[in-house]
Amino acid sequence: MDNFTTNLIEKLKTVSFNSGNTKSANILYMLGVENKEVIICRLLASLIEPNGLHCLGIEPLKIFLKCINVNKKYSDSMLSNAMVETEELISDNRRVDIVIHIDNDVIPIEVKLYAKDQDAQLCDYFNYYKSIDEDTDKDIDKIYYLTIDGKKPSKSSVGNLKKENYSCISFFKEIYSFLSDLENLSMGAENDLIKIIKDFKEVISNLKSDEENMEKIIKKITKCFEDNNNQVENEFLQIVKYSDKIWDEIRFLTLKNSVEEKTNNKYSLKREIKNKGELDFDTYCKYAITYDGREVAYLAIEQNLYIVIKDKEERKNFEVENSNSDSKKYETNSEYVWKYIKIGENDGKKKWNLKNVDPDISSHIKDVKWEDYIKL
């Protein structure tokens, strides 16, 4: 191992990570919402909407406007007739994430979790609604830029916008404050609403933990560049360049070691799947589980990790032994069944995404009883 890699690893070992809150029984994590910007926008909009399913009328909208520092006073009648749109279509087939329409006022909100700014994005959005002002009674004061931590938009996105024409808000501060106030308002209301609010707050808390962990990692990494060594920079950039391949290798080896260790080497895992293009089974199958050199099942990776059994006879055995389970039989052209892999005490329905880097992969799969899924 070269000096750079060794030095980097040693520095990262000293990082104290914040693991955030427990994600168990959180419906939003089960749905994989935390990484889906569009769905988070819809959820937030549904909590603001005065005619939403929360059945709290205009109060959530009042609270939200206060939290993002909209100081204009609106009558209850105006708020009752307000509309909260998501993915509102504007010129050039572009869409604004959330737009609140109150009387003649327009309050657009551009949300950025992980996506990068587009050129002139905030500028174009603001100018679009400003141009409508000239032809209609609509009025826009500013556009809101909502990010995890309230960071500023890029200069290319701002364009020629004046500072007073946009406002930076965050999930950490303004949205978390809104949800806390909404939670207090909702005491005594439907339990489902309280649960959704608590789950949303947990998602934000864990987003914050992820952000803090990233800052710690970056700080440690940048220390490796202090000597301005070009070789060090090049080697690290190679790691970044091939990060997807590195994760694929780590994921495969971790799963392979788990399968072999938990089955006393009765089963193994391999990358290559025989005649994959000719077989009629799930396109997400990544690895083949082997028994005595034969492919007997497959691990598929999408929003969940699940196991696929394709052979007719083995499928029959699988169905008999799992007749009371949540295995699923396909009646069309497919000759396979599948079943989710449980994580620890999880009931098997919670989604965990191995497509993306999961720092907790080892702890997630350490208790998987592989032979319970494949019994030959």
Q: Are residues 284 and 152 in the same domain?
A: no
Q: Rg (Cα) of the chain, in Å, rounded?
A: 25
> Is the pLDDT at 333 greater than 50, yes or no?
no
Q: Are residues 171 and 258 in the same domain?
A: no
> Is the pLDDT at 71 greater than 80, yes or no?
yes
CB contact at 8 A, 368 and 348: no
Domain range for 109 is: 36-189
Q: Are residues 84 and 157 in the same domain?
A: yes
What's the one-letter identity of residue 232? Answer: V
Query: For residue 296, is it within any domain?
Result: yes
pLDDT classification of 114: cutoffs 50, 70, 90 = confident
Quote the pTM value. 0.58
Mean pLDDT of 289-317: 74
Query: For residue 18, is it within any domain?
Result: no
Q: Are residues 341 and 256 in the same domain?
A: yes
**CA–CA distance, 225 with 52 (Å, rounded to integer):** 52
Tokens 């209301």: give the residue: 189
Q: What percent of the chain has pLDDT over 90?
A: 31
Q: Are residues 83 and 147 in the same domain?
A: yes
Of 142, 159, 189, which closes a domain? 189
> Is the pLDDT at 119 greater than 50, yes or no?
yes
Query: For residue 318, is it within any domain?
Result: yes
User: What is the model's pLDDT at position 346?
Assistant: 47
Of 144, 172, 189, which closes a domain? 189
Q: Which has the higher per-residue pLDDT, 204 or 61?
A: 61
Query: For residue 196, is it within any domain?
Result: no
Query: For residue 220, is it within any domain?
Result: no
Find the range with the poorest average confidence among 9-18, 27-36, 111-120, 244-253: 9-18
> Is the pLDDT at 248 greater than 70, yes or no?
yes
Q: How many domains does the chain have?
A: 2
Closest Cα partner for 42 from 92, 81, 88?
Answer: 88
CB contact at 8 A, 178 and 98: no
Closest Cα partner for 359 from 230, 206, 196, 202?
Answer: 206
User: What is the model's pLDDT at position 329?
Assistant: 39
> Is the pLDDT at 147 greater than 70, yes or no?
yes
Q: Are residues 43 and 178 in the same domain?
A: yes
Q: Are residues 181 and 251 in the same domain?
A: no
CB contact at 8 A, 152 and 122: no
Q: Are residues 175 and 302 in the same domain?
A: no
pLDDT in tens, 184-216: 998 866 668 888 898 889 888 877 766 676 677
User: What is the model's pLDDT at position 224?
Assistant: 65
Q: Are residues 180 and 261 in the same domain?
A: no
Query: For residue 223, is it within any domain?
Result: no
- In degrees, rounded to 5, the angle at the alpha carbon of residue 97 between the alpha carbons of residues 91 and 103 is 80
Q: What percent of the chain has pLDDT over 70?
A: 69
Of 157, 189, 221, which closes a domain? 189
DSSP bridge pairs for 144: 109, 167
Q: Are residues 177 and 300 in the same domain?
A: no
Q: Are residues 356 and 278 in the same domain?
A: yes
Q: Are residues 146 and 83 in the same domain?
A: yes
Query: For residue 201, is it within any domain?
Result: no
Order of strands across the sheet with 267-270? 267-270, 285-291, 294-301, 305-309, 337-340, 328-329
Query: For residue 219, is it within any domain?
Result: no
The CATH number assigned to the domain holding 159 equals 3.40.1350
> Is the pLDDT at 63 greater than 70, yes or no?
yes
Contacts of 4 (CB under 8 A, 6+ apart): 224, 231, 232, 235, 236
Q: For residue 308, how far is the Cα from the chain centroid?
A: 25
